[in-house]
Amino acid sequence: MTDLTCLFLGQPLANPLMNASGVCCRTTTELDTLASSAAAAMVTKSCTLEPRTGNPEPRYSSLPLGSINSMGLPNEGYQYYLDYAERFDHERKLLFLSISGLTLDDNVEMIAAIREAVNPALLEVNLSCPNVPGKPQTGYDFEAMDELLDEVNDAYKRPFGVKLPPYFDISHFDAAAEVLNRYPRLAFVTCINSVGNGLVIDPDTESVVIKPKDGFGGLGGAYVLPTALANVNAFYRRCPDKQIIGCGGVQSGTEAFLHLLAGASLVQIGTALYEEGPAVFDRVLGELTAIMASKGYTSIDAFRGKLKTL
């Protein structure tokens, strides 16, 4: 019998799957769809202090090898998601609440409200939205990242986590991990956010495919799998006291298996969820189960993090 249960921050979950923030999680209708899906956990759209309509459309495009987006943090404002979390049945499913304040003060203000929650969700601080014009990604500025995490650590006494951008240099894995490891209550790290500021060009129209930022947007899907796996494994190796949530390029049980092998505790699905809807969770769970059975693994811990090197 193949058992998909896993432990996250001490909480048993039926399986390791959840959505990637931003997909199927902006409205209560979308969030309720996730709550009714086979995913064992779910995360809200990254929210800001005030509601945002986001960037002009078209701002998302799907392609054979993945997706490009420049949504621009469209969301209902943090109170909307706080209210959703207060009404949520946390026994039923693990709920994460993602914040992406436009300024340090906005993040501090949102956290001041979130810490008063009677029925708290798990806080994820998004350090990596690449699509707000004029807003650099905090995750690429280690000093700013440390300053923000110091404020979060002071203001918020429950375990929390961060959503990181992809890094592409070993010295950046080292520097980022050094900052993260200063905060023991920083309990999980979600790798990766989209690969920022890619450019998809349509050869027929000789045009970009999304409107914001002259077509520059965050890449997801198959394009980003090797980078996602590298970031999951890099932080799995460097942050032994934290759990890693893998995100990027999961389109089947195979990629979910790879993220777990690389050290992920949970696995997020973004582009494939956007394209296929919540049935993607049932499909990927079935495929993951089949892969584990074919390899003789009866539990996820039998192989999780046990990536072989040569």
- Which positions are catalytic? 129
CA distance readout (Å), 192 to 203, 218, 224, 282, 302: 29, 11, 9, 23, 24
Sign of the alpha-carbon dihedral angle for 139, 144, 147, 152: negative
x/- map, 122-161, ligand OXC, by CB under 6 A: ----x-xx-x------------------------------
By CB under 6 A, the residues from 204 to 223 that bind ligand OXC are 218
- How many chain residues touch ligand OXC (CB under 6 A)? 14
Nearer Cβ to ligand OXC (73/186)? 73
Q: Which of residues 88-127 bind ligand OXC (CB under 6 A)?
A: 126
**Assigned token pair, 79:** 């109170």
Question: Of residues 15, 19, 37, 46, which one binds ligand OXC by CB under 6 A?
Answer: 46
Residues 238-277, mask of contacts with ligand OXC (x by CB under 6 A): ----------------------------------------
Residues contacting residue 306 through CB under 8 Å, at least 6 positions apart: 261
Strand 41-43, strand 6-8: pairing: unpaired
The single residue among 22, 249, 263, 278 that binds ligand OXC, judged by CB under 6 A, is 22
Q: Are strands 160-164 and 122-126 parallel, antiparallel or unpaired?
A: parallel
Q: Is 224 in the site for ligand OXC (CB under 6 A)?
A: no
Residue with the two structure tokens 């997801």: 220
Task: Compute how many other C-beta atoms are within 10 angstroms of the C-beta atom of residue 258.
Answer: 22
Q: List residues binding ligand OXC (CB under 6 A).
A: 22, 46, 69-73, 126, 128-129, 131, 193-194, 218
